[in-house]
Structure 1
Amino acid sequence: MYVYEQIEPWVWTVGHYDPTGRWHPESDHAKREDAANRVAWLNGRPSGSTTGTTEARQ
């Protein structure tokens, strides 16, 4: 499952953790909403339908 994390005050990174806990970044976004939409798409959901489908880590 893809998630997003705020790695800097202005950068949200989309990625996933492998079974060993290693982080694999996929893309960076300036806006949280853009990261959430990317996560929704990668997880098989339409863009914009992020309620309950994404996880943000800060």
Structure 2
Amino acid sequence: MGFGSYDESEQDNQEYDTDFEDDDGVSTAENTHEGDVEYEFSASNDELLDQLEDIKET
């Protein structure tokens, strides 16, 4: 067989191990958080834009 070729009869003979243990996974509800996030900016928009320009220049 050449590169990339395969025996089509092998497609039917593939075995997959699908015996997953329920305890092995991560519970998606395990770390749920409820609440609010608030930000307080002490700099003005112009000051923040100036800082951004300084960062872009370096």
- What band does the TM-score fall into relative to the shorter chain? under 0.3
Higher-helix-fraction structure? 2
TM, length-normalised to structure 1: 0.28
Higher-strand-fraction structure? 1
Structure showing greater Rg: 2
Structure with more relative contact order (C-alpha pairs < 8 Å, separation 6 or more): 1
TM, length-normalised to structure 2: 0.28
